Amino acid sequence: GNSVTQMEGPVTLSEEAFLTINCTYTATGYPSLFWYVQYPGEGLQLLLKATKADDKGSNKGFEATYRKETTSFHLEKGSVQVSDSAVYFCALILNSGYSTLTFGKGTMLLVSP
């Protein structure tokens, strides 16, 4: 089956620090990969996506590169802000046929001033 493994949190950083949240996956077919962000009390927002190998998704200073050889999609940001504090979910969905989103367990990020 499909699965997503992401690093456990919470990840605690000071403002302007560099962020990496690791994500690896297994998939039975060809997946698209996503990072979703969830702010306290809110729904999921798509942060970025990549639909094929070597694609780089980017948004709001966050980046992630689809690495087929290492089955990874690590999230990075060069300088985090307090407002980035949230839970981040890595997820995949297959690009053909019947498929639903497979989520990682989520990583909480706490950024202090």
Partner 1 sequence: DAMVIQNPRYQVTQFGKPVTLSCSQTLNHNVMYWYQQKSSQAPKLLFHYYDKDFNNEADTPDNFQSRRPNTSFCFLDIRSPGLGDAAMYLCATRIEQGMGEQYFGPGTRLTVT
Beta bridge partners of 4: 25
105 binds partner 1 (CB under 8 A): yes
Cis link prior to 10 (omega < 30° from 0)?
yes
Identity of the residue, 70 or 100, whose beta carbon is nearer to partner 1 in the bound complex: 100
Query: Is there a contact between 103 and 91 (Cβ–Cβ < 8 Å)?
Result: yes
**Strands ordered across the beta sheet of 56-59:** 19-21, 75-77, 62-65, 56-59
Within 25-64, which residues bind partner 1 (CB under 8 A)?
Answer: 32, 34, 36, 41-46, 49
Q: Which is nearer to partner 1, 50 or 111 (CB)?
A: 50
Instruction: Summarize as ranges the residues that interact with partner 1 (CB under 8 A).
Output: 32, 34, 36, 41-46, 49, 89, 93-101, 103-106, 108
